[in-house]
Every structure is written in C-alpha cells, then in structure tokens.
C-alpha cells in the first residue's frame, strides 16, 4: 500500500476545521443572554409608590421660586398617582398644599423698576417687538423664566385690568389633576368652578359676563345644592348661589341692573330678557324671577299691593314698615331685597370671599 503524504495532510486539515465549526456552533452568544437578563431585571423593577406618596407632601412644601416647571410637572404626576391610594381627608390636604406649592413657585421678588417693566411688558405683549425685547431684558430673571414657560404646568399670566397683572395657576388644574379621583359631589364642584372661572368675573371693576351667563350659574348652584346637600363645599355652593342671584336681579353696587326698578323700561335689556326666560321655568329661582317681574311691572301707586302679594304678608305688617299714604316712599330696591332675599354685592365682598378666580373658594 502506497502512503500519500499529501492526502494525510488534507485529511488532518478537514478534521480540525470540523472541530472548530462544531465548537463555534455550541458556544452561546453572551450578548444575547446578558441583554435578556437586563430586560427581565427592568421588567421586575417597579416604582415604590408608597415611598413616592410618603415623600410627596415634603416635596410640595419644598417647592420654591428657584425650581423649574419640569420639577413642578413631576410633582403633579406624582399627585395623580397617589390620589387613588389615599383617603379623602388626605386628598384635601394635598389640595391645600398645592396652593402653597404654586404660591411659592410663582413668587417674584421685584424691585420698583422691575415691577414697572413687568406691567409694561405684560400689557403690550405681542406689540412692538423691539420695545418688548428691551422691556424683557429689564425684567426680574424669574419673570423672564415664567414668561418663557407660560402654558406649562398650568401656569398663566392674567390681566384683570387697571394694571392688575399676576401669574396664576389655571383653574383647570384642580379639574384635571384632582377631580377625577374625588367623590362625585366634589368632582362636580371642582369641574364646574374651573369652567366658570377660566375668565375673571370682574374686569376693570365691571362684571365681565352676560346676564344670561349669570342666570345659568345661579341655576347650576341651585341644582347642585339640591343634588348634593352633604357636599364638602356646600357652604361655598350656597354663597355662589346667593351671589349670582343678587348679581342677576340687582347687579353690582356700582353697576346696578336698574336705577329705580319702576318698570320694565328701567331694567337693563339683557337682564330683562334673562329674567323673563327664567320666569318661564320652575323652581325657587324661577319663582324669584316671577316676583321680580311682578314688582317692576307695576305702576308706582300699585307697588305696595304687589309688595304684599310678593311677600305673602298682611297689609297691617306692611303699614308697620312703610307709609302707605305716600306710595312713592316705597323703594322698589328695598322691596326686591326683602321679597327675593337679595344682598348687596360689591367689589369688597367679592374679594373678601374669593370664589371667582380658581376652582376653590379662598
């Protein structure tokens, strides 16, 4: 048998190549295994909600005028996560803390020149770009930051007229962040208040909404009180009902619906239309509208008789209050106050108990 050296060498090369190939096939790719392990580890890692909710109050209290809108939005996200996990009492605590949080965040410590620049800039926004840029450079650095980030984290700049400019948290904040996880009565209260107070009730010391809108708001709060007699904010709802009722039938102290209420021609036309529509409905507020029209539609000499009928009291009781020998002494405004149970509304009363700038009364 002839031995072929070249054949033997080729045979060895073939065997070695097969071993290398088999070894490579059997070795698992380490990158895939490690990536799989990392993915499993991430999937098993969940945020510690109890820790987040436990620290939430501290984080809200620590918010200040050096923080960013990103930090504020992160806290608001944590509030959303924690609200379903806590009691209603704790939810109300967060409501109060959110006021403090935003108040601290929106604080700007301006000097006199910065205040003047702020007012000029805000009043002339979007006008005269060159002038605006000059004013912007004069602003407090915090004003510059807040103006750049308007619209983020529910921040907005309000103009209430007469140089009354201020930052505020949009009322929709409570409606969007808190309301969905509150009991039904409180959810409806916050949602409606947020909608009503998107725009200020008073601007330049005048009522800024129509008589029809005033009527609709009074009706809403009348129905709310009937539907939710045990609401946490029942007293506020009653105050809103009384205030809008008085604004409808009397107006502001400095912006009255009428001068003498002697006849329909003496009533502001838009108010008269709203009251006449209301009188066609049913309910306590509709009854007030019917009495209102009965009083103002009478001639002066008939006012005392209508007053008696409207209040359902005897002639003798009226004689103890007014001199019927002179019917002109009977003041229609006083009749309305007593018959419709109205109270005088002025700017001071509205500011003293502010239910017209946010989703909660202050």
Question: DSSP labels for 288-323?
Answer: HHHHHHHHHTS-GGGHHHHHHHHHT--HHHHHTTS-
On whether residue 103 sits in a domain, the answer given is no
Across the strands, what pairs with 37?
A: none
| Res 263: pLDDT | 87
On whether residue 45 sits in a domain, the answer given is no
Q: Could you tell me if 75 and 173 are in contact, meaning their C-beta atoms sit under 8 angstroms apart?
A: no
Q: Which two tokens stand for residue 343?
A: 């109270």
| Res 333: pLDDT | 77
Q: For 86-118, what is each residue's pLDDT tens digit? A: 999 999 999 999 999 999 999 999 999 999 999
Give the gyration radius of the chain's Cα atoms. Answer: 35
On whether residue 75 sits in a domain, the answer given is no
| Res 145: pLDDT | 97
| Res 174: pLDDT | 98
Answer yes or no: is pLDDT of 323 > 60: no
Q: For residue 44, which phi and psi values (nearest 5 degrees)?
A: -85, -5
Residues 162 and 256 in one domain: no
Q: For 142-157, what is each residue's pLDDT tens digit? A: 999 999 999 999 999 9
Q: Could you tell me if 209 and 201 are in contact, meaning their C-beta atoms sit under 8 angstroms apart?
A: yes
* CB-CB neighbours of 131 under 10 Å: 12
* CB-CB neighbours of 275 under 10 Å: 24
On whether residue 74 sits in a domain, the answer given is no
Residues 308 and 252 in one domain: yes
Residues 289 and 337 in one domain: yes
Answer yes or no: is pLDDT of 39 > 80: no
CA 132 – CA 126 distance, rounded (Å): 8
Q: Could you tell me if 347 and 205 are in contact, meaning their C-beta atoms sit under 8 angstroms apart?
A: yes
Residues 223 and 362 in one domain: yes
Q: For residue 252, which phi and psi values (nearest 5 degrees)?
A: -75, 160
Domain C-terminal end among 169, 202, 218: 169
**60 burial via Cβ count (<10 Å: 0-12, 13-18, 19+):** buried
Residues 154 and 235 in one domain: no
CA 303 – CA 298 distance, rounded (Å): 6
Q: For 45-91, what is each residue's pLDDT tens digit? A: 556 788 999 999 999 999 999 999 999 999 999 999 999 999 999 99
Alpha helices in 197-302 (DSSP H): 211-227, 234-249, 269-279, 284-296
Q: For 215-257, what is each residue's pLDDT tens digit? A: 999 999 999 999 999 999 999 999 999 999 999 999 998 899 9
On whether residue 316 sits in a domain, the answer given is yes
* 67 Cβ contact partners less than 8 Å away, ≥ 6 residues apart: 105
Q: Could you tell me if 189 and 197 are in contact, meaning their C-beta atoms sit under 8 angstroms apart?
A: no
Q: What angle do CA 211, 216, 217 make, to 5 degrees?
A: 95
On whether residue 63 sits in a domain, the answer given is no
> Considering only 27-41, 133-147, 240-254, which range has the smallest mean pLDDT?
27-41
On whether residue 96 sits in a domain, the answer given is no
Residues 336 and 204 in one domain: yes
CA 307 – CA 193 distance, rounded (Å): 35
On whether residue 76 sits in a domain, the answer given is no
Q: For 281-318, what is each residue's pLDDT tens digit? A: 999 999 999 999 998 887 554 555 555 555 554 444 54
| pTM summary value | 0.78
Residues 138 and 197 in one domain: no
Q: CA torsion sign, 250 to 254 to 255 to 256?
A: positive
Residues 161 and 187 in one domain: no
Counting the structural domains of the chain, the total is 2
Residues 149 and 260 in one domain: no
SS3 content of the chain, % helix, strand, coil (to 5): 65, 5, 30
Residues 257 and 325 in one domain: yes
| Res 29: pLDDT | 41
Residues 350 and 232 in one domain: yes
Q: Which long-range contacts (CB under 8 A, 24 or more apart) does 109-117 make?
A: 109/65, 109/140, 109/142, 110/140, 110/143, 111/140, 113/138, 114/138, 114/139, 114/140, 114/143
| Res 38: pLDDT | 37
| Mean per-residue pLDDT, 345-354 | 92
Domain limits at 282?
Answer: 181-362
Residues 224 and 261 in one domain: yes
């Amino acid at each position: 048998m002839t031995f072929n050296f070249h054949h033997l060498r080729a045979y060895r090369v073939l065997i070695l190549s097969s071993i290398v190939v088999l070894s490579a096939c059997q070795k698992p790719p380490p990158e895939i295994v490690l990536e799989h392990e990392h993915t499993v580890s991430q999937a098993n890692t969940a945020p510690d909600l109890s820790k987040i909710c436990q620290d939430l109050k501290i984080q809200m209290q620590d918010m200040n005028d050096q923080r960013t809108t990103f930090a504020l939005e992160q806290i608001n996200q944590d509030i959303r996560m924690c609200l379903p996990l806590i009691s209603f009492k704790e939810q109300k605590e967060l409501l109060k803390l959110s006021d403090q949080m935003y108040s601290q965040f929106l604080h700007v410590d301006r000097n006199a020149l910065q205040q003047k620049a702020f007012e000029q800039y805000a009043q002339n926004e979007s006008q005269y770009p060159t002038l605006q840029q000059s004013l912007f450079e004069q602003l407090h650095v915090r004003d510059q930051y807040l103006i750049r980030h308007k619209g983020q984290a529910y921040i907005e700049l309000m103009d209430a007229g007469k140089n009354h400019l201020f930052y505020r948290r949009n009322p929709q904040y409570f409606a969007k962040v808190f309301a969905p996880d509150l009991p039904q009565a409180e959810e409806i209260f916050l949602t409606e208040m947020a909608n009503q107070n998107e725009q200020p009730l008073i601007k330049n010391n005048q009522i800024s909404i129509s008589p029809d809108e005033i009527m609709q708001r009074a009706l809403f709060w009348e129905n709310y009180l009937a539907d939710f007699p045990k609401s946490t904010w029942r007293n506020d709802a009653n105050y809103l009902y009384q205030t809008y009722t008085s604004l409808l039938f009397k107006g502001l102290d400095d912006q009255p619906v009428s001068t003498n209420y002697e006849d329909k021609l003496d009533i502001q036309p838009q108010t008269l239309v709203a009251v006449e529509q209301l009188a066609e409905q049913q309910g306590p507020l509709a009854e007030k509208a019917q009495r209102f029209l009965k009083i103002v539609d009478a001639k002066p000499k008939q006012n005392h008789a209508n007053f008696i009928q409207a209040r359902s009291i005897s002639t003798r009781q009226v004689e103890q209050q007014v001199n019927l020998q002179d019917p002109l002494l009977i003041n229609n405004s006083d009749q309305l106050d007593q018959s419709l149970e109205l109270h005088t509304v002025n700017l001071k009363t509205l500011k003293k108990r502010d239910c017209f700038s946010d989703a909660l009364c202050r």
